[in-house]
A and B are shown apart, each in its own frame.
Chain A
Amino acid sequence: MSHLNQKSSSWNILFLCWLVSSVSAMGSLFFSYVMEFAPCVLCWYQRIFLFPLVIILAVGLFPIDKSVVKYALPLAIAGWLTAAYHNLLYAGIVPESIQPCSQGVSCTEEYIDLFGFLSIPMLSLLSFSTIIALLIILKMRTTK
């Protein structure tokens, strides 16, 4: 019985993780296709790491397969690093001269500003952090 309980709570954690990645993916599509913000180069890299998570995590749900962490975590970490760099750039901590996207869409243009601190790169960083945290929790439950 306790084994069954543990199994279902692992499923819940993975489900939550999938939900976070799906909402983020949809949010990014909403920004570009509904609000018509052009995605900059760094946003594209973050999407490249985010979109596969939606599929991989969903596959891991049926039936629950905790080894999904092994495949999902590298993507999430790569996405997190890109998001972290993007935030540094956005905040002006990394000087503009080394930013890779001076042509086309600027990576530092401010599109939205929720509650005074939530920019689009910040939203991305938060969701990658949440995904990583949930994956690590799942991993620790497995090894126990």
Chain B
Amino acid sequence: MAETATGGASRQAQGPDATVVGLVLDVGEGLLSAGAETERVEDTAVRIANAYGDRDVDAFAVPTGLFVSFAGGRATGMRRVRNRGMDLGRLADWNDLARRVCEERPPAATGADWVRQVTARGEPYPAWAAPVMAAAGNAAFTYLVGGRATEAALAALSGVVVQAAVRGVGSHFTRRFFHAAAGGFAAVLIAAAGAHVLPGVRPVMVVTGGIVLLLPGLALTAAVRDMLTGDFLAGAARSLEALVTAAALAAGVALASSLLLSHVLGGGPL
């Protein structure tokens, strides 16, 4: 923590409390790693520092990091954000925490306790919820785009398979990339197998329903909202993230399709 004396008589020259700096960075990191828009992160960092009496704060956030300058630049905090997932529950949790800190202004050490509580919070839904909801969502979307009951059932099956396989994959981006690719691959395999066994099943419907929950919807939405606030750096980064996830999904789909087209389906269109 750098503290430099200024020439002025005011004892404002003392740098900010290290605990406050830590709290601001922890909350900012939490929000970013849950997938928050960067403007929200910058705004929250400034508000928390304001709540502790620091009126001269500036924050700069990108999806992979956060910089905050305290007390007119007498101290600067930086946090690199490595583990990024898209977790709406944690997003709401960190948002609640930030709001509580600003309203109650607890001693910074108490704030640090709250941070530990949020970090330690477990999964909000039981383990069976993911495959069940994936099945329901896939089937519903298949129906929505005009699929029949058998096609919806196959899409539901691929949802269960994909979720059961990737439970615990974690949020590291490389793993999420393979998650999307494996999901696309599995959806096509199940669609092709189903079409082979059951007459009248259109594989295209099964695959469309099977991959809908793997689409980078959250990254794309956050990208739009980032650009909406004029934050083009974050918007571009997130658009790219959405694009890469979509490409991974496409790779899985394309690989399975090209493998199957000649062998199982005799060259007919999927």
Q: Do A and B come from one complex?
A: no
Q: Which residues of B contact A (CB under 8 A)?
A: none
- Chain A residues close to B by CB (< 8 Å): none
